Structure 1
Amino acid sequence: MTYTRWTLRTEHTSYTVRLSPDGPSALDWSHRTHFITPADAAPAEYLPYGLRPFTGSELIAGDERGVWWEFDGAEHTEGTLRLAFTDGKTGLRTVLCYETVPGTDVILRWTEFTADGELRLERLDSAAVNIAVTGAARLTYLCGQWSQEFQLTHLDLERGTFAIGSLQGAPGHSYAPWLAVRGGDAAYGIALEWSGNWHITAEAEPGGAVRIRAGRVPHEGAVLLAAGETLATPRVACAFSADGLDGLSRVWHRYERRLTGDRLHRTRKVLYNSWEATGFDVDAAGQLELARTAADIGAELFVVDDGWFTGRADDTGGLGDWYPDPAAFPDGFDRFVADVRALGLDFGLWVEPEAVSPGSRLHAEHPEWVYRVEGRPSRLVRNQLLLDLGRADVQEFVLTTLDRLLGTYDIGYLKWDMNRPPTERGRPGAGPADLDAEHVAGYLRVLDHLRTAHPDVTVEGCAGGGGRIEHATIARTDVVWPSDNTAPIDRLRIQHGFLHAHAPHVMSSWVTDAPGILDPRPRSLAFRFVNALCGVLGIGADLRAWTPGQRAEAARWIACYKEVRDVVHLGEARLLGSPDDTSCGVQYDHGDRTVVAALSTGRLDGAPLLTGRPDRLRLRGLDPAARYRDTATGAEYGGAHLLHHGLPFAWSADHDADLVVLTRR
């Protein structure tokens, strides 16, 4: 029996796809498929329900829900592969698409559908991945809830099905569209590039294999594909590392640096955001007082959060009417922005473009713009409704609004928030519509417009914290906001999970005065700064309440961050331990410099291990034959010593975090 094979090569790995010209019978590798078909038992790459009816298919289409296809040709270049299949009865042409990402160990996969006539697609996954395992499949995923996102969680799946996803019109706070599977020392990962409803399913099948399927979930339960129309599914990024989860995290970091492109080398400024200091009580005098103090300690960017626009005294009004409140800025908003910039600060603004308040002028003029079901009440979430961003007129309103704000005022930073999922998701009188995909397309269209029309504006992605973080958003924003929870040890655990899937240069992290929500152990200002500078440093505390000593300490940390942020954002990151250990941290290597952010999570009695003995973090990836000098103390260490014995830290109540900068000699 002959097979056709194609091999795609990444930086360190290869991926081979094979096809038998003899059809599905060649999938019968075991010859023992009692009560199931050969295709059901096979490690198939992508199959429709007609060929794989029992153990999970990626495509369900047509009135009879079955597709039986035949191979219809391949296109193969050095970094791409396209395999076409056709079904004569339904008139459906399916193309499986593959593309390598240069300089990474990532392969992108997606599927394209074209039909001769209108066709119902009930399931339209992007890809399936087969991973051979010995024993139970070791799954790692990121779960949580609002204020507790990105909790790193492990599960052994010996048999059966594991599924995660969201029906909230966004990736959501409960699960990230990311999954890792470990087999021995190696780790395999997949991540779905989609800003709407989604699912990832892992099936531990007989014979020592786990099969991962991923894709979008149509809002209406199916998508109607029009005659001649081509529909492309979201891309799935497939990654591999021989160095386990930590190595896999660096594969994802490299990939996200490629997504950022030329903007990677822009300096990510130290931000001050006024929300936690003033809430909705926004006025020019109070904001300028905060801006002066922020500038004094070294901040480079001042962002006015919610509460700056007309009708926004609280969260019950104002959304949709995006004009500065003249009572809050009596000398004009342009004068206020100029006063902030005169302090040497860049200026930023918070917006929530998809939301509308029921009492706003916008809602009164265009009630048809919100999602609604005819004859049914519209529920309020956070006292607001959601605009149907799939509508062209709503997209034009959002584009025009943002162009007006960015064109009228000297704004260099835009924080895009989304604080409610779509409910009553309908569009009366419009007929069948792919509402979820249309909203995603509208959202991405606006972000693409911001990139093109306002290339110098830095964009932050936020959705009530980390509710909409995936590769489509990361490719179009500069930073994302992982969580509204900024309490020190809570945030440490959130960031530990986040950095397994996402890169430090996109992780916005603030120093605030927030007490622990889930873990109330007190930690110092130093702990908060060291934790926050593991990504893109920001400050959100009420600086007016800080003592002169606290402000001076903050200024020292900010100055230190400015010295090392290129290492943090451009270097290779290694996660050292976890928040469950008495000490943990992150190591960043770039050129001849190594930066170690070390944090104590244990008791602060001076003896995390034994009395008088320091705790240690064993570093990784260093040259064992080289010498490394601590730039602050002058101490020198051998590379082998740092790798095997570790960097010492004597924690105490007055010393629960440290930032060590090592220079290779």
Structure 2
Amino acid sequence: MPISLLAENSVAVLRTDHASYAVSWDRRSTDDTPVRHLHWGAPITDADAVALAAVDEQQRRSTSTAAKPRAHSEEYPFFGGLRREPEALKITFADGVRALDLQLAGEPRVVDSLDFGTTSGVYGPRRAGAAGTGTAGTDAAGTDAAGTDAAGTDAGEPADTVAGDPALGERLIIELVDSHYPVKVTLSYRLHEAGDAVIRSAVIEHTGTAGAADTADSADAADSGDAGDAAGAGGAGDAAPIIIEKAFSANFPVPPWPTPRVLTLGGMYGAETQPELSPLPAGELVLQSRNGIPGHDFLPFVAVDPAGTATEDAGEVYSVALAFSGSWKITTHRSHDGEVHVVAGVNDNDLRHQLQPGDRLELPEAIGSYAPDGFSGSTRRWHRFLRADVVSQPHRPRPVHYNSWEAAYFDLSEQQQFELAELAAALGVELFAIDDGWFAARDTDLAGLGDWFPSPTKFPRGMRPLSDRVHELGMEFGLWVEPEMVNEDSDLFRAHPDWIYAWPNRPRTYGRNQLMLDFSRPEVQDWAIDTLETLIRQANLDYLKWDMNRPLVEANSPAADAGEVWLAHVNGLYRVWGELRRRHPRLWLETCASGGGREDIGALRYADWAWPSDNTDPLERLEIQRGFTMVNPALTMASWVTDRPGLSGRDIPLQFRTHVAMCGVLALAGDLIAWSEDEHSTAAEFVRQYKQIRPLVQFGAQFRLDAPAPGTWGVAYVASADPGFRANRVPAGTGTEPTPDAAVFVFSQAMMHSGRGHRFRIRGLHPQTRYLVRHTGSGEQWEFSGEFLAGHGLFVELGKHYDSALLVLTAVD
């Protein structure tokens, strides 16, 4: 079984084929931890775990000055006692007490996730007696008058393309209660086999009863030492609210080594997800966002190479990511004696979350993945996990799309978009999208946000005639929206000036000349759902690009208590997204926030792909995309081919630009009206090639190739057992161009005078299989074994600056 519950030994072992995670528990004195961490890493047996639980490692290493218990030995460290390493939970009670004394409540148990009562995609506070999140009075069928789904598909088509429910399967449940105060903490663990991942979350509950009074019985129960009875008996402050000041989802201890390294994916606007591998010093490494969104500074992810020697293909890598689309924090702590642990969760900055009796706070999932085969092995585990457990429509190929933003900016017209649509269809584009500027009085960024109806001057007949023509051309149709934002110059703001986040007696803060709507308010969420539903139906949309171009700073709302807005906004956003998904399961949804500001795992539970950066310079995109795909699979990464010279001023050939974009979800975004005939024919050929290798890029196994020289880079996409690949692979003999067994992209960012080519070692192939290797540019062909290509490598001529090549490999019978 994936979860072994050894109740007689007070031990649980969670295991996949390549990893084990083990915990133990006891009812000993409160100086110790109620749930002890035993192991995370390579597989161990049940007997190993039982023997490990008998070793009191902490006592052997304890001194009178040491923190106790140590955070690396605790599954969920909390504030109180001799603890002084980064904790996961801190609560203030009505009488001013801030220390917790959590003890085991009952016996840990393994349950079916359907019986657990929470689903991993749902985050946020649950008020006692609160209704569900569905919107009453809505049409669940999501069909328009013509009988077709508003997402442009047949309403009768089975909706079998949504992600499998991540809540299915077994969970280990461990419940803790305070010895005196009405608090219960429920720890949840589940596994993902293909990702070698343990997925953790926590629920914090106020177990008191409103109006309860302190009684002698409750005091006796609290003094009896029976934590389970005390917590539910109406002890001191039973009816008073409690204030959560910190509530992280999980703590992940990592095995100690003398010289660990840490990998982060940081950066800034226009330079997101830059991989940085550096030594992990003693102390705390804090990665965070305080912007109300995951932000551009860091992806909510960290990887630890404990031995400090991991390569792309060898060595242990422990990585942790958080599935949350708001302010977050991940702290990696290394003590001076080498112990390492990672705590991850919602950011505690300005957090004061109040729970009344009967309330509960469900925390987002934190995912820990173990890889014994280096950073590349870690990447493929994350890709398998996201495709199987996270992304919507996981087996549905992402379309080649065209976005008209850089062809028009705000200067849009109906006739112009008709012409662009005709040109895009001729290139083989499958989805046509209009970006900012199509709505209301949106001629600049000073007006229009909030009024989501077509501009009467740019589209006097509305959006439906263009949508109908796009569909006639065989493409899907979509629009850009930014529903969390509003301009003061808009009908919405004039009607509801109180719907924004703002402080009384303080000036408003603006970002991109806009204010932020209060998504913590149910009436604002209802407005967003109803407005977007109308837009989807009237324009017959297949796609929405959901943007967010400023941070949340004035976290004040009449709908949420002080310090709760940071959580309530994300919960409101998830409710809106969830309702759109429920009504339109085949609607494409792209997440964007000034580029890569919202590309976390939480967002990807709803969105089909993310916009990783506003920077479309292909040279800089290589590094952005390299970092992005260290965690996220290529089918979640939009990548545009834009006109040159672009923002960087570099004059980069169309082949290099397109090859970079073909490493993700390919999109064209230039001014097609101004393109030459040669550019149109070249782009059409690249689109054809992309469609042939799309199953490999979007569903295959990704292998980063070692750079044979400075300024070179390569990536291989290899046939895999992923259900999406099997479902979309085109076999030979069908009359359609078959899917090859591998596709390899190589890039030369700068040519050295002494060399016009490099040898690339191609990993991931079957060693004894022979492959026909074809250079799609020159047409040259070679035949080699997988063993030869991985060991000796293949010489590829790259003859100039910004040169690139696509190689396709087909197994020889």
Q: One fold, TM greater than 0.5?
A: yes
Aligned to 1:59: 89
Q: Helix, strand or coil: the match of 1:483? A: coil
Note closer, same or farther for the CA distance 1:602–1:128 as it changes in structure 2 (3 Å cut): same
- 1:622 and 2:765 equivalent? yes
Partner residue in 2 for 1:176: 299
Alpha-carbon distance between aligned partners in 1 of 2:635 and 2:462, rounded to the nearest angstrom? 35
Distance 1:431 1:442 in 2: 15
From 332, 335, 359, the equivalent of 2:489 is 359
Partners of 2:692 and 2:424 lie apart in 1 by: 18
Indicate yes or no: 2:706 matched with 1:577: yes
Whether contact under 8 Å (2:352, 2:563) holds in the other structure is no
Q: Distance in 1 between matches of 2:86 and 2:750?
A: 46
For 2:460 and 2:177, the matched residues in 1 are separated by 66
Match of 2:433 among 279, 303, 327: 303
Contact map agreement 2:325 2:598 (CA 8 A) in 1: yes
In structure 2, the CA distance between the partners of 1:166 and 1:291, relative to structure 1 (3 Å rule), is same
1:551 aligns with 2:680: yes
1:44 is the counterpart of 2:77? no
Does residue 195 of the first structure (1) align with residue 325 of the second (2)? yes
Query: Do structure 1's residue 333 and structure 2's residue 463 form an aligned pair?
Result: yes
Partner of 1:599: 747
CA pair 106-453 structure 1, distance change in 2 beyond 3 A: same
- In the alignment, structure 1 segments of 5+ residues that lack a partner are none
- In structure 1, distance between residues paired with 2:255 and 2:390: 33
Is contact 1:27–1:42 with CA below 8 Å preserved after alignment? no
> What SS class does the counterpart of residue 317 from structure 1 fall into?
coil
- Does residue 113 (structure 1) correspond to residue 204 (structure 2)? The answer is yes
Code of the residue aligned with 1:574 in structure 2: it is: F
Match of 1:483 among 581, 594, 613: 613
**Within-5 A mapping of 1:328-407:** 328-407=458-537
Higher mean C-alpha deviation, range 334-343 or range 417-426: 334-343
- Separation in 1, partners of 2:798, 2:71: 55
Alpha-carbon distance in structure 2 between the residues aligned to 1:32 and 1:263? 51
Q: 1:510 aligns with which of 640, 647, 667?
A: 640
Unaligned runs of 5+ in 2: 1-7, 33-55, 112-168, 209-237, 308-314, 721-739
1:289-324 CA distance string (max 9 Å, x none)? 211211122111110000001110010000001110
| Amino acid in structure 1 at the alignment position of 2:767 | P
Change beyond 3 A, Cα 1:516–1:655:
closer
Superposition map of 1:431-442 within 5 A: 431-432=561-562, 434-442=564-572
- Aligned counterpart, 1:561: 690
State the Cα deviation string for residues 586-626 of structure 1 (Å, max 9, x = none).
Answer: 111115701111111232x6x5xx446x3011111222222
The match for 1:659 is 806
Any conservation in 2 of the 1:33–1:41 contact (CA below 8 Å)? no
3-state SS of paired residue (2:550): coil
What residue is the counterpart of 1:222 in the other structure? 352
Structure 2 distance, partners of 1:517, 1:186, is 40
Q: Relative to structure 1, is the Cα distance of residues 355 and 579 closer, same or farther in structure 2, using a 3 angstrom cutoff? A: farther
- The letter for the 1-side match of 2:62 is R
Corresponding position of 2:794:
647
Instruction: Give the drift of 1:516.
Output: 6.4
Structure 1 residue 10 displacement after superposition: 2.1
Please state how far the C-alpha of 1:11 moved relative to its aligned partner: 3.6
One-letter identity of the residue aligned with 1:125: F
Q: Tell me what 2:578 maps to.
A: 448
Give the Cα separation in 1 of the matches to 2:466 and 2:635: 30
CA distance in 1, matches of 2:431, 2:343: 42
Provide the TM-score with structure 1 as the length reference: 0.95
Mapped contact 1:490–1:517 kept (Cα < 8 A): no
Of 133, 139, 147 in structure 1, the residue corresponding to residue 262 of structure 2 is 139
Task: Tell me the distance in 1 between the aligned counterparts of 2:467 and 2:781.
Answer: 44
Q: Which one of the candidate residues 622, 638, 642 is aligned to 2:785?
A: 638
Output one character per residue of 1:419-441: Cα deviation in whole Å (capped at 9) or x when no partner: 01112221258644611111111
Q: Which residue type is aligned with residue 558 of structure 1?
A: V
Larger CA deviation: 158-167 vs 506-515:
506-515
Distance 2:548 2:364 in 1: 21
Deviation at 1:260, TM superposition (A): 4.8
2:392–2:605 contact (8 Å) kept in structure 1? no
Report 1:410-421 matches (<5 A): 410-421=540-551
> Any idea what the Cα deviations from partners look like across 1:505-560, whole Å, max 9, x if unmatched?
11110111254656x65432111111111111001111222211111111110000
From 588, 591, 595, the equivalent of 1:461 is: 591
The aligned amino acid for 2:299 is A
Q: What's the C-alpha RMSD, in Å, of the aligned pairs?
A: 2.0
Per the alignment, in what secondary structure is the counterpart of residue 533 of structure 2?
helix
1:74 and 2:108 equivalent?
yes
Aligned partners of 1:122, 1:429: CA distance in 2, in Å?
19
Say if 2:652 and 2:802, in contact at 8 Å, map to a contact too. no
Report the equivalent of 1:87: 178
Q: Is the 8 A contact 2:194 2:381 kept in 1?
A: no
Deviation at 1:580, TM superposition (A): 8.2
Inter-partner Cα distance in structure 1 for 2:346 and 2:11: 29
Q: Which residue of 1 aligns with 2:159?
A: none
SS of the aligned residue for 1:60 comes to strand
Identity %: 35
Is the alpha carbon distance of 1:316 and 1:580 closer, same or farther for their aligned partners in structure 2, counting shifts above 3 Å? farther
429 and 500 in structure 1: CA distance in 2 versus 1, 3 angstrom threshold: closer
2:326 alignment partner, SS class: coil
Secondary structure of 1:443 counterpart: helix
Note if 1:499 corresponds to 2:629. yes
CA distance in 2, matches of 1:400, 1:125: 34
Quote the Cα distance in structure 2 between the aligned partners of 1:38 and 1:582.
Answer: 50
3-state DSSP of counterpart to 2:578: helix
Question: What is the TM-score normalised by the length of structure 2?
Answer: 0.78
User: Which moves more between the two structures, 178-187 or 419-428?
Assistant: 419-428
Residue 536 of structure 1: aligned partner: 665
Residues 487 and 513 in structure 1, CA contact (< 8 A), matched pair in contact too: no
Is the CA contact 2:397–2:698 (under 8 Å) kept in the aligned structure 1? Answer: no
Matches of 2:674 and 2:798 in 1, distance apart? 27
Match of 2:284 in 1: 161
Per-residue Cα deviation, 1:393-424 (whole angstroms, up to 9, x for no partner)? 00000000110011112211111111011122
The number of residues matched between the two structures is: 658
